[in-house]
Amino acid sequence: MSRHRADGQHVAGWQPELESAVVAAGLDPESVRDVVVRALDEDLGPRRQDVTTAATIPAEQERSALLVARADGVVAGLPLWPIVLAEAAAMLDLPVPTTTLAVTDGARVRTGDVLGQFHGRSQVLLVAERTALNLVCRLSGIATHTRAWADALAGTRARVLDTRKTTPGLRMLEKYAVRCGGGMNKRMGLFDIAMIKDNHKVAAGSIKAAYTQVRTRYPEVEVEVEVDTPDEAEEAVAAGARFLLFDNMSVDVLAAAVAKARAATPEPILLEATGGLTLDEARAYADTGVDYLSVGALTHSSPGLDLALDLLPPDTPAAGAAG
């Protein structure tokens, strides 16, 4: 059943298991709803209309549809599909189609695999189609790219991290996709980890001054210091930093910086490399002894994974699940 906002617009009443799945994935249900509703609004406009679907398909028509992989990859965002269907159904004031997913987020899929099947009013299926595909293809592309990095680093101490270079408004979902691909999330924003970068060092006067000011003002917040040379790494550790970001270093310089940083303190420290890293050199950078490689390209340059929704003719038998 749907309910209404104060402005009279429909709000979908999610099935309890949908909300539970979103929470279990580490996502905020209301934030997910906002993303989905905004995306549907872009397609349907102020009159909430898909003029082609409304003109060609009777409101009472029911069909089944399959979500099919058109390329090999790793999927992420599949639980968004029934949410998009629920929100689209509420906007059209039609029943919510049923969803049966054949795979789970993080699964590797092959071209031709059936990832899910949906059944319900054709109008709802087609109105929801592009919004759901835009989201799930985008997130699956990020998961696929991240998995390639995770595979390249397998057997080393290093893990791949994302950055804040995300699509505005989609950070929560894009970082979720990184987790689905076997990567780790760094900071969610400017609020949860303090990162002292070059401009902060210039403004404060030195690494030590910047570190001391952050630690004094926000003693409970983890602090990371960006360094550009082995000497800066030693300086940052001497100032008290135990989390360093090595930026734009060659493999040889990075190895020297790692050795210098670890020799500067008997305490455990976390070391991260970043700056235009590529898959071809991932292993070499990992072998320097860093704990993390952070890759902005995971979220700013991953191509979407090609997926498609195929509406089935009436009375078509249900398809098999993905292998």
Select which of 48, 108, 165, 208 is catalytic.
Answer: 165
Q: Is 167 helix (H, G, I), strand (E, B) or coil?
A: coil
Candidate list 87, 224, 247, 272, residue with the active-site label:
247
Residue 222 pairs with which residues in a beta bridge?
A: 193
Count CA within 13 A, CB hemisphere, residue 308.
Answer: 9
Pick the catalytic residue from 87, 174, 226, 291. 226
Close Cβ partners of 39 (under 8 Å, ≥ 6 residues apart):
84, 131, 134, 135
Element (H, E) at 100: strand 98-101
Does residue 217 have an active-site annotation? no
Structure confidence at residue 315 (pLDDT): 76
Q: Which of 70, 110, 157, 197 is catalytic?
A: 197
Q: Which of 130, 164, 262, 283 is catalytic?
A: 130
> Any catalytic annotation for residue 226?
yes
**pLDDT of res. 9:** 52
β-sheet bridge partners, residue 30: none
Q: What is the pLDDT of residue 4?
A: 40
Task: Give the pLDDT confidence score for residue 11 in this predicted structure.
Answer: 58
- Residue 130 catalytic? yes
List Cα–Cα distances, 35 to 172, 279, 308, 323, in angstroms: 10, 31, 21, 31
| Concatenated DSSP letters of 262-319 | HHT-SS--EEEEESS--GGGHHHHHTTT-SEEE-THHHHSPPPP-EEEEEPPTTPPPP
Q: What is the pLDDT of residue 16?
A: 78
Ramachandran category for residue 255: left, alpha or beta (phi over 0 → left; psi -120 to 50 → alpha): alpha
pLDDT at residue 3 in the model: 42
Q: Tell me, rounded to whole angstroms, the distance of Cα 34 from its chain centroid.
A: 16
Active-site annotation holds for 232 = no
pTM: predicted TM-score of the whole model, two decimal places = 0.93
Q: Which domains does the chain have, with CATH numbers?
A: 2-141+303-311 (3.90.1170.20), 150-300 (3.20.20.70)
- What is the SS3 assignment for 68? strand
The one-digit pLDDT tens for each residue of the chain (323 residues) are: 344 443 445 457 777 788 888 898 899 999 999 999 999 999 999 988 999 999 999 999 999 999 999 999 999 999 999 999 999 999 999 999 999 999 999 999 999 999 999 999 999 999 999 999 999 999 999 999 999 999 999 999 999 999 999 999 999 999 999 999 999 999 999 999 999 999 999 999 999 999 999 999 999 999 999 999 999 999 999 999 999 999 999 999 999 999 999 999 999 999 999 999 999 999 999 999 999 999 999 999 999 999 999 999 987 755 544 44
**CA–CA separation, 120 and 60 (whole Å):** 9
175 is a catalytic site residue? no
